[in-house]
């Protein structure tokens, strides 16, 4: 299951939202037309146009976030004008619309835009309404903004937790194989299109099976966790650590040439050799294969090359680095 774009509404709810908005605005347009208020009829008729277009595109799966954001802003502009013209009859539409900002914009932008929208609408209504009435609407409107902001903050935190769970290996905290494919495909594309270099380090814990056999799988899991944490402390901010499988880890070094990658690998190997991970198993070493990205490489050949280099390192006696020639 894919996690959707953060600031978007799923397709079916989006269609229902827009149908409800179209029904509401059409009712308003008809009502204003019956009462011969042709200016507001025209303004809201214009606001209906992008909403209907967005609905059609959403049904055809061709709409985008920017289009929905612009549609919301156009409708809000029409509501501001109605507040100026008819006062509280326009103000009643503020509360439903402020919530939509928090579906289509990030939290900071939503707070700024919804507050600005509410303030302009309320000030505009002062042209025809008493200060007391506008103040009453102000309390209700800003309560809605506060509640929407709190709700959006909670949802965003929950989403971040879900994204973390979906993208990381639970035991080690490293990124998982799904993220590996996505990130490596991007690196291959960037190299082929823009010649942006990248390198891979494939790391295997030496004699890991011996740890499991002699001390148990719980101790083996502890080693994997501490090993991963040590690597994450040593690599750069832009480098990415993945759990490749079993006791194997892979590091993607973006924008890194072959020579620099080999130095990083040797420094990492030495730091692991010197690190004390387990009391029962004092010394842990690793073997590392290093492969830079080259023009003829695909995702599969790049990984295969790195894998072959790792096995060369293991066959050479372990606790060493073997780099692509």
Strand 286-292 relative to strand 321-323, pairing: parallel
Q: Are 292 and 199 within 8 A, CB to CB? A: yes
58, 85, 129, 247: the active-site residue: 247
Rounded to 10°, the helix 107-125/65-86 angle is 20
Catalytic (active site) residue 247: yes
Which residues make Cβ contacts (< 8 Å) with residue 77, sequence separation at least 6? 47
Exposed (0-12), middle (13-18) or buried (19+): which is 1, by Cβ within 10 Å? exposed
| Local structure of 175: helix, strand or coil | strand
Listed as own residue / partner, the contacts of 134-137 with beta carbons closer than 8 Å and 24 or more positions apart are 134/91, 137/88, 137/91, 137/94
Distance CA 213, CA 220 (A): 9
Residues forming the active site: 247
């Amino acid at each position: 299951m894919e996690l959707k774009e953060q600031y978007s509404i799923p397709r079916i709810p989006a269609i229902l939202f827009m149908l409800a908005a179209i029904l509401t605005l059409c009712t308003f347009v008809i009502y204003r037309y019956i009462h011969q208020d042709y200016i507001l009829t025209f303004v809201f008729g214009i606001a209906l146009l992008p909403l209907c277009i967005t609905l059609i595109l959403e049904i055809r799966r061709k709409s985008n976030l920017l289009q929905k954001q612009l549609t919301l802003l156009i409708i809000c502009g029409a509501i501001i004008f109605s507040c100026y013209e008819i006062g509280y009859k326009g103000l009643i539409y503020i509360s439903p619309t402020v919530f939509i900002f928090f579906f289509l914009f990030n939290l900071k932008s939503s707070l700024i835009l919804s507050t600005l929208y509410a303030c302009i609408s309320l000030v505009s209504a002062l042209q025809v309404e008493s200060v007391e009435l506008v103040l009453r609407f102000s309390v209700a409107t800003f309560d809605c903004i506060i509640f929407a902001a709190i709700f959006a903050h909670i949802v965003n935190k929950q989403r971040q937790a879900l994204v973390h769970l979906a993208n990381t290996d639970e035991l080690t905290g490293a990124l998982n194989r799904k993220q590996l494919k996505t990130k490596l495909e991007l690196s291959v594309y960037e190299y082929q299109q823009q010649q942006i270099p990248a390198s891979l380090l494939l790391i295997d814990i030496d004699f890991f099976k011996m740890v499991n056999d002699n001390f148990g799988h719980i101790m083996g899991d502890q080693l994997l966790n501490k090993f991963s944490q040590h690597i994450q402390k040593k690599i750069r901010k832009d480098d990415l650590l993945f759990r490749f499988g079993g006791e194997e880890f892979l590091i993607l070094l973006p924008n890194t040439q072959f020579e620099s990658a080999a130095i990083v690998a040797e420094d990492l190997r030495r730091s692991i050799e010197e690190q004390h991970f387990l009391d029962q198993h004092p010394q842990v070493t690793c073997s590392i294969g290093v492969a830079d990205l080259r023009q003829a490489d695909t995702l599969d050949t790049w990984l295969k090359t790195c894998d072959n280099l790792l096995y060369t390192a293991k066959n050479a006696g372990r606790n060493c680095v073997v780099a692509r020639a």
